[in-house]
Structure formats: structure tokens, C-alpha cells
Structure 1
Amino acid sequence: MKKLLLPCLLAFLWLFGNSTSVKADEYLRVGMEAAYAPFNWTQNNDSNGAVPIEGSKQYANGYDVQIAKKIAKGMNKKLLVVKTKWDGLLPALTSKKIDLIVAGMSPTEERKKEINFSNSYYTSEPVLVVKSDGKYADAKNLSDFSKAKVTAQQGVYLYDLIDQIPDASKQTAMGDFAQMRQALSAGVIDAYVSERPEALTAENTSSDFKMIELDKGFTTNPSDTALAVGLRKDDTATLTKVNEILATIPKKDRLELMDKMIKQQPGSQKSTGFIGQAWTIFKENWSQFLRGTGITLLISVIGTLVGTIIGLLIGVYRTAPVADNKVLALLQKTFGWILNVYIEVFRGTPMIVQAMVIYYGTAQAFGVSLDRTLAAIFIVSINTGAYMSEIVRGGIFAVDKGQFEAATALGFNHGQTMRKIVLPQVIRNILPATGNEFVINIKDTSVLNVISVVELYFSGNTVATQTYKYFQTFLIIAVIYFILTFTVTRILRYVERRFDQDNYTQGGAH
């Protein structure tokens, strides 16, 4: 185990040794997706005024970033972007993981119940995005989209606008614009409702997409089309300061800034065929894929090791004899009940929900701010521990009762019996199940993107939003996942074979 833990610790130091260090009084932490060009996007350098993304070696740029820079400058702070999934922005703000939301968010009545909003810093115009060679490429009015399969981003006013399209087939809302572009490319949907800058970006970046500006468009409310900065309810001083700073930016300058960001947004890959495009994406972004793979392995290796240790400890405890002392017996029973609750809760709820509750919930309820990656390791460890405890219990029950009786007859106590007789057999018996749990953890780390852990899926999704080549990018991710799981499976099979080689010395007659 020491041989396994040392490389993990070294990898941890290598991966995070150069991460951005944040001081609350020095930085203004602003949350955004960094995947919604031209409002915000991710890039690999600090060109064109990009700023660092917390916990990574990447940078964020876009209209939102430049507005946030002006706010940070007015507050005498440095800007630090905290890359966060759209669904996690409000929890991140209310749990004080970030100071502001500058992410193209509209101050709807529902959101105003949770957070405060500044004055508007941009007014959006809703449009539709379709395939450039599709049946809706020449649409002029909402009625032209009758029977069309239309969707929009989950949790935004754009999704409600679909109801204004006569007889439209309203599809399930999607998590982000990357998913919608992918669905549109695949023909899963016919169109998605967007804002003009994003639609213009999609059209300019990929020839597959076309923006439809309607002669008679959607009816909207000012509170929906206005974009504003999100702040915590109790942060009135910052709200006043932000409004003062925004008031110094003329409307003309805001429009010019948006035009500038549209020109500076990431470009598209040259068309060289599917495989050629995939190879180009890998060559230009291999460092992102490597870092994401390293984080995935780090989380899954440590999570599996710690989870197995937790499972072994629980398994040993649950098979311990009841204490003779009534008080100790009551405490033992109570602790056993707590362990049962832990096992049932973590085996009965999805890891994605556990991640949201543990990462954001603990900060909001108890003021405990966890590092994303450390939180991810903790989540995977305790989740694995719940499953491994049942696997270990089955492994202990598989040991013949006669061995327990023989150990008792030899004067062994419960701890000695477990340590010297039972556990060596249990570890051998549960090795295949432990290996399977390791493989599952490698794949399940992808759900941790909900708390913006920069693992393999998160890194690949970032590349996809930069290149607009979704199938090619996810093919690369799939190949990397397969290589990881295939290699791990082969190594574990080798270890199992080594354990199965029983070498006995047969003594001759004397």
C-alpha cells in the first residue's frame, strides 16, 4: 500500500503545485461557465486580456470576463475566474465559494428570491440556431418552426420562450450550449433557442450552424433579456459598488466590447476529415487531456484505496462480538446503527447528488470550504467505502466458521483472528470485486464535473466547447477511458493470478 500511496502523493503535488493560490482580500472570485462564447470561454494562454482560472493552468476570456475585470479594478482587486457549471453557480455563490456571478445570467423573479442582482450590463436578443443545411435554414417566423423539435438551456428564460412557437415539439431542456450544439449536429433536435451573441459565435465558428433572426420574434420581458451581476443577499455594500462601476461604462463602450469579443473568440478547426480533426484536437490539447487523466487516476486510485480501508474496518467492526458491559454494548449497538445509516445513504443515493451536497452544502451550512479535488477524493472514498463494506462483509462470511472456532480454541481474540487468519483470505477473495470498484470509480469521476473538478470528462468538454468538434473530442475521451480501464483490468487480472498460485512444499517420509 505504501508503494501505491507514494506515487499518488507525488502526482498530487505535481498536479497542484502550480495551481493558483487565492487570498480573499487580494482576489475577486467570479463564477462563470467559461464555455459560452462570446460571453465567456476557456483558452490556453493569457492573450487578449484573459485571466487565470482557479485551480488550473488555463485562462478565461470573453465579454463577461472583461466586464468582471472592470469591476475587480474598481474594487482594487485582481480578478480570478472560478469555472463552474451553470447549475452550480447559485450554490457556489450562496455557499461563498465565489464572490460574484458574471455569466450572462438574467435577473428573473425566481432567482431574485435567492440572490441579489446589479443593474444590467447587457441586453440580450433571443434567436434560434438551426443546421445550415436543414429544413429550417430558411425560416423567417415562429410559425415556420411548427412541429420542429426545439430546446434551450435548463434553468434560463429561453426555455420558456419555446411555448410561443405554434405546435412546436418542446424537448427536454439541456445542461449547457455544448450539449445543444452536439444534439443539433446529430439531428436529435431541429433548433435551440439562444441569444444573439452565442448564436453568432456558433454560426461563425462552424459552418454546420445558422442563426435565424425572425421577422416577428419572441415576446420577452425586460427582466429576462437583461443580463446582470449576481451577488449574495447580505452583500449590499458590494452591490452598491458594482452598480457604481457599471454606471461608468457607456452603452457605446459595451457594444464595442461585445463586437471585439466576437472577433477574438476561439476559431474553428480546419476540415481535414473526422480522424484528421480528432488527431489535430489531440495534438493541440494533449496537455489538457493529460492533466484531466491525471486527476481522474488520482481521485480513483486514492478513493478506491481509502474506500477499501473503510470497508475493511467496518467489516471487522460489524463482526465483533457484543461487549459484556451493558454500557459498552449499547454504544456498540448505537455506532453499528450509525454505520448502517451511512452505508444505506451512500449506496442509495447517486454520487452526483452526494457531490453537490458535500461540496456546496457543507460550505453553506457549516462554513467549511473544501478544495474541489480534495472534496472529490473524499466523496469517492466514502462512496466506495459504503459499497466495499458490504463486499467485505460477504468476504468474511465466506470464510469457514471452523476457522473462527479454531482461532478461539487457540486463544486468539477477535482482533488477532481477523488480522492473522480472516482478513488475508478476505482480501484475496474480494480482489476481483475491488478491481471492479476501481474500474467503476475511473468512469464515475466524470459525474464530479458538477462541482467543476477538472477531471478527464471536464477537460474534454472544455476542449469541445473551444473547437466545436464534439464527436471528435468525445471520441478521444472515450479512447482514453478505454485505455485506462483496459490497462487496470489487465493489471488486476495479473495480480489475481499471482494470488491464485498456491505453492506448497510437500514433505517426504523420513
Structure 2
Amino acid sequence: MKSRYKWMSIFIALLVSLALGANFNQVYAKKDNGVLKVAMEANYQPYNWTQTNDANGALPIEGSHTYANGYDVMIAKIIGQKLHQKVVVVKTEWDGLLPALTSGKADLIIAGMSPTTEREKAINFSKPYRHGTFVVITKINSKYANAKTLNDFKGAKITAQQGTSHYAMINQLRGAKKQTAMRDFAAMRQSLISGTIDGYLAEDTEATSFKLVDPDIKAIPISKMPGFHVTKEESVTSIGIAKPNKDLLKKVNNALATIPEAERTKLMTNAIKVQPKTDNGKKGNQENWLVSMWKQYGGMLLSGIGMTLLLAFVGTIAGFFIGLVVGIIRTIPTPATLGKKWLLKVINWLLSIYIEVFRGTPMMVQAAVIYYGIAQFWHINIDRTAAALIIVSINTGAYLAEIIRGGILSTPEGQFEAASALGMTHNQRMWHIILPQAIKNCLPSITNEFIVNIKDTSVLSIISVSELFFVGTTVASQTFKFFPTYLTISAIYLILTFTITRIFNLIERRLAGNKNYNLMANQVQVGSTSKQGGNK
């Protein structure tokens, strides 16, 4: 039995070591006061996007081996030069930009954000660094492609990006069917191509960028239509800065003042020119899409797989020990003394709260609260990978605590009675008799929790952890091949879960021992041997 546990421990330690080694630099991120951290989506061409190298002046993305480029990145570089600071991009989903800034995860937001009244209540904004007009982007063969007035969009299914002022502007398109807001421009582009929407509202730069990769789209300039109104704040983009940091706001405004309008126009033109291209099914390109994707983004995908395995392995192992401790405590018999009795009740009450909270709330919400909340309220800046490991571990621990408790309680009562008859204490009964059986019986459930963790790490994209799903989303948004990319990601998840299931099934069989052991046959054989010895 000891050799089996040793073999299992070596196997798990090897896998954890490989995962840690692949992602070591992400877990232990060092704080550098000479760095200016700029938050952006890195998924909004031509303002910002993700690429695999530093070509065309791209900047590194924090906690990954990828880079960001685009108009926003170029503006950030100029500001960094004026402030004599190295610029690092903090890649964050749109909904995470404000929390990243207010929690101290980033120093600036440069992401094509408009300084609306609601946002100005939470953060400060610099002077505008970009002016734009608004368009409805639709297909060139759409019945709405020749719209001349706001009334011509009657019946059209129109959407815009979630959390932006663009979404409210749809109300001015009289009779349009306002669709659910989408999380990013990549999703809206794909929805338009697939025909699930008739168009989406955006700035003119988005139309120019989209036109380069899909000539079959058309931008309808609604800003020039009678009756369409936007405030000055909604038509410009500014840099977001935390309210307490007024000195940085002054420095950023001074830096922007040194960039003439002609240079800004040149920067945008160049950003559109060098943005990621896609073959879009062009003739002459006979290379398989899967081969092409792995050639260009294989490193990113492998890094995402490594991060997913790291979170699942470490989270499950740490969660197992958390659940083991909690499960043991919750099965301790009621003490005889009054003081110990009340102490155990209080501890059990606290552990019950822990279990109910972490089993009763989504991991995505837990991730946002722990990663951003701790930094905002307690000023403790946790690295996103370390935060992800903590989140997966304590979430898993809450589930495994009940699984292990059930395994302990399901052990036959006769086991307890026999151990007590031998004079064993509660601790001796637990460690030598009960737990070995309970853990072995719980192994299928523990394996299932591990499989769930491999898939559930995808929700950690809310804090921009570069796991498999987050990387896959980035690849899809850059290549515009959404279905093939997500199909590939699904296949990778299936391979991971299938392989892990088979490995743990093997471990379970080895721990179970020889099922063909026949006690009666062995007794007969021993008796036969004894008789033969007597005849001698």
C-alpha cells in the first residue's frame, strides 16, 4: 500500500512541477515602481490588440509571453517616454478596466474609453486624445445598407458593446430592435458575419479596421443624420486615471499636449495598416486553417494549456487538504466538557458559513471579489495567477469538505466499534482506520472535482488569467475564425479531461488491490500444505 501512495505522490508532484515551471514567471510577479501599468482590452482593433511578438513596436503584456499593439499602445509609449517610465500593458476585459484602475492593478486606462458622466464619478479623465464619429456597421447586401435617416433602421436588429455609451445610442435609431449588448467587438463582428444581427453601432475607426479584413461590410454614418445627438464627452476618448492620483493626471495631460493632431492621425493610420490580418478565405491560400493557427498562435495556446493544468492541479490538491481538515473537524464527536463543546459549535458554524458561501456563489464572482476587492479595500495587491490559485483552492475545498465528510460518515459503524474495542483513541481511529477507507471511497468524486476544475478555470477570464479559454478568445478575435478556434479549444479540453480521467482510474484500480483474491481458496491451500507436512 505504501508503494502505491508513493507512486501516486511522485506522479502528482511531477505534473505540478511541470506546470509550475511553465508558468513560474506568472506566479511571482515583481513590483517595479519604475513601471507604468496601462490597462486595455488588447482586443479592440485598431485601438489595441494582442500579438505573439514585439513587431511594430508592440509592448509586453503583464503576466504572459504576448504583446499588445495598436493606437492606444503608441499613445501609452509616448506618455511613458515623457514620464521616463517603462510601459507594461495590463490586459483586462472591458468590464474589468475600472476595477483594475481603482484597485491599483493599473495606473492608467487607455482603451478608447469615453469620459461619460457616470464614469467620471468613479475616476478622472485626461484631455481627449482621439475624436470620432459614429456609424452603424452592416453587410453591404443588407436591406439597411442604404439607410439615409434614423427611421430607415426600423426592424433592424442592432447591438453595441456592453458597458459603453454606444449601447444607449441605439435608442435614437427609431424602430430598431435593440439586441442584448455584447462583450467585445470581435463577438459583434462574428454575429454580423453569421447573420444573427443586422448591424452594430460603433466609431468610424472600427468600420475602417473591419473593412480591411472583410470588404463585404458597409459603414452608415449616423452622426450626420438629422436627429442624432451625442454629447461632447461621448464623441471623444480619454485616458482614465484614479481620482487620488491628481499628480499623474497633470503629467498625462502635459504629455498629450506635446502630441500634435497630425501625429495622432498618423499613429491611427499606421495602427490600421499593421493590425493583424486574416486570409478570410482568400484564393491562393491553401494552408489548412488548423496548421496556420498553430504556426502563429501555438505558443500562446500551449501557455494557456499549461496555466489551465497549473490551476487545476494545484487547486485540486490544495482543495483536497482544505476539505480533509474541514471534513475531519466537522465529524469530531461532541466533547464532554462544556467549554470544548461550545468551541466546537462555533468552529463548525464558521466552517458551515465557509462551505455555504463558496458552494452557493459562482467562482467568477468569487474571483472578481478576491482579486479586485482585496486590493481596493485592504490595499493588498495579489498577482492574478496567485489569486486564481487561491480562488480555485478554497472553492474546491468547500466542495471536497462535504465529500470527505460524507465518506467518513458512510464508513460502517462496526469499524468505529472495533477500533474502540482495541483501545484506540478518536485520533487513532480516524488516521489509521477511517480516513484510509473514506479517502479511497471518495477518490471518484475527487477525480470528478479535478475534471470540473479543468473546465471551470475558464471563468477566471474575468480577472484576465491567461488560461486556455482566455487565450482561445484572443486567438479567435485576431483571426476572425471563431467556430474553428472554439472547436479546437473544445477538443483540447476534451483531450485533457479524457486523459486525466484515465490516469485517475488507473490510480483507483491500483489502490483497490487485487479483486481476484480468494480468502477461502488460500485457506484450503494452506490446509493442504499443512497436511502434506504432517505426512512427512
- The CA distance in 1 between the partners of 2:365 and 2:353, in whole Å, is 17
Residues 381, 19 of structure 1: alpha-carbon distance in 2 compared, 3 angstrom cutoff? closer
What does residue range 172-183 of structure 1 map to in structure 2 within 5 Å?
Answer: 172-183=180-191
TM-superposed deviation, 1:274: 11
Structure 2 length as normaliser, TM-score? 0.91
Q: In 2, are the aligned partners of 1:202 and 1:210 still within 8 Å (CA)?
A: no
Larger Rg, first or second structure (1 or 2): 2
Matched, 1:424 2:414: no
3-state secondary structure, aligned to 1:103: strand
TM-superposed deviation, 1:299: 0.3
Aligned mate of 2:126, from 106, 118, 122? 118
Residue 243 (structure 2) aligns with: 233
3-state secondary structure, aligned to 1:331: helix
Higher mean alpha-carbon deviation, 466-475 vs 136-145, is at: 136-145
Residues 20, 465 of structure 1: alpha-carbon distance in 2 compared, 3 angstrom cutoff? farther
3-state secondary structure, aligned to 2:112: coil
Higher mean alpha-carbon deviation, 324-333 vs 342-351, is at: 324-333
- The CA distance in 1 between the partners of 2:428 and 2:194, in whole Å, is 61
Matched, 1:99 2:111: no
Residue 269 (structure 1) aligns with: 279
Aligned mate of 1:313, from 320, 325, 336? 325
Residue 68 (structure 2) aligns with: 60
Residue 33 (structure 2) aligns with: 25
- The CA distance in 2 between the partners of 1:132 and 1:405, in whole Å, is 80
- The CA distance in 2 between the partners of 1:56 and 1:238, in whole Å, is 26
Q: In 1, are the aligned partners of 2:123 and 2:240 still within 8 Å (CA)?
A: yes
Aligned mate of 1:329, from 333, 341, 346? 341
Amino acid at match of 2:86: K
Higher mean alpha-carbon deviation, 140-149 vs 361-370, is at: 140-149
Amino acid at match of 2:402: E
Identity of aligned residues (%): 50
- The CA distance in 1 between the partners of 2:58 and 2:205, in whole Å, is 19
Residue 225 (structure 2) aligns with: 216
Residues 491, 22 of structure 1: alpha-carbon distance in 2 compared, 3 angstrom cutoff? closer
Matched, 1:438 2:447: no
Structure 1 length as normaliser, TM-score? 0.96
Residue 55 (structure 2) aligns with: 47
3-state secondary structure, aligned to 2:485: helix
TM-superposed deviation, 1:20: 9.6
Deviations 1:78-103 (A, max 9, x none): 11101011111111111101111111
Amino acid at match of 1:241: K
Residues 432, 467 of structure 1: alpha-carbon distance in 2 compared, 3 angstrom cutoff? same
Matched, 1:302 2:314: yes
TM-superposed deviation, 1:42: 0.8
Amino acid at match of 2:507: V
Residue 403 (structure 1) aligns with: 415
TM-superposed deviation, 1:420: 1.2
- The CA distance in 1 between the partners of 2:388 and 2:217, in whole Å, is 36
- The CA distance in 2 between the partners of 1:336 and 1:219, in whole Å, is 60
TM-superposed deviation, 1:206: 2.6
What does residue range 490-501 of structure 1 map to in structure 2 within 5 Å?
Answer: 490-500=502-512, 501=514
Q: In 2, are the aligned partners of 1:150 and 1:162 still within 8 Å (CA)?
A: yes
Residue 15 (structure 1) aligns with: 23
Residues 395, 449 of structure 1: alpha-carbon distance in 2 compared, 3 angstrom cutoff? same
Residue 131 (structure 1) aligns with: 139
Deviations 1:38-81 (A, max 9, x none): 10011111111111111111111111111111111111101110
Q: In 2, are the aligned partners of 1:19 and 1:56 still within 8 Å (CA)?
A: no
Residues 350, 321 of structure 1: alpha-carbon distance in 2 compared, 3 angstrom cutoff? same
Matched, 1:69 2:103: no
TM-superposed deviation, 1:503: 5.6
Amino acid at match of 2:91: K
Matched, 1:481 2:493: yes
Amino acid at match of 2:124: N
TM-superposed deviation, 1:178: 1.8
- The CA distance in 2 between the partners of 1:40 and 1:292, in whole Å, is 21
Deviations 1:404-440 (A, max 9, x none): 1111121212222121111111112111111111111
- The CA distance in 2 between the partners of 1:207 and 1:234, in whole Å, is 46
- The CA distance in 2 between the partners of 1:8 and 1:138, in whole Å, is 58
Aligned mate of 1:199, from 207, 219, 239? 207
Amino acid at match of 1:216: M
- The CA distance in 2 between the partners of 1:380 and 1:23, in whole Å, is 24
Amino acid at match of 2:515: D
- The CA distance in 2 between the partners of 1:261 and 1:479, in whole Å, is 34
Residues 207, 297 of structure 1: alpha-carbon distance in 2 compared, 3 angstrom cutoff? farther
TM-superposed deviation, 1:495: 2.9
Amino acid at match of 2:128: S
Q: In 1, are the aligned partners of 2:359 and 2:399 still within 8 Å (CA)?
A: yes
- The CA distance in 2 between the partners of 1:274 and 1:129, in whole Å, is 30
TM-superposed deviation, 1:18: 8.0
- The CA distance in 1 between the partners of 2:342 and 2:425, in whole Å, is 21
Number of corresponding residues: 510
Deviations 1:326-346 (A, max 9, x none): 323222211111100000000
3-state secondary structure, aligned to 1:130: strand
- The CA distance in 1 between the partners of 2:346 and 2:10, in whole Å, is 34
- The CA distance in 1 between the partners of 2:190 and 2:176, in whole Å, is 20
3-state secondary structure, aligned to 1:237: helix
3-state secondary structure, aligned to 1:324: coil
Residues 9, 78 of structure 1: alpha-carbon distance in 2 compared, 3 angstrom cutoff? same
- The CA distance in 2 between the partners of 1:153 and 1:274, in whole Å, is 34
TM-superposed deviation, 1:252: 1.8
- The CA distance in 2 between the partners of 1:130 and 1:177, in whole Å, is 13
TM-superposed deviation, 1:449: 0.5
Amino acid at match of 1:455: E
Deviations 1:263-322 (A, max 9, x none): 111111251799932332123211111110110011011111111121111111111122
Residues 388, 404 of structure 1: alpha-carbon distance in 2 compared, 3 angstrom cutoff? same
- The CA distance in 2 between the partners of 1:10 and 1:484, in whole Å, is 15
3-state secondary structure, aligned to 2:128: strand
Higher mean alpha-carbon deviation, 214-223 vs 441-450, is at: 214-223
Structure 2, unpaired ranges of 5+: 1-8, 531-536
Structure 1, unpaired ranges of 5+: none
TM-superposed deviation, 1:203: 1.7
Amino acid at match of 1:51: L
Amino acid at match of 1:346: F
Amino acid at match of 1:204: L
3-state secondary structure, aligned to 2:353: helix
Residue 359 (structure 2) aligns with: 347
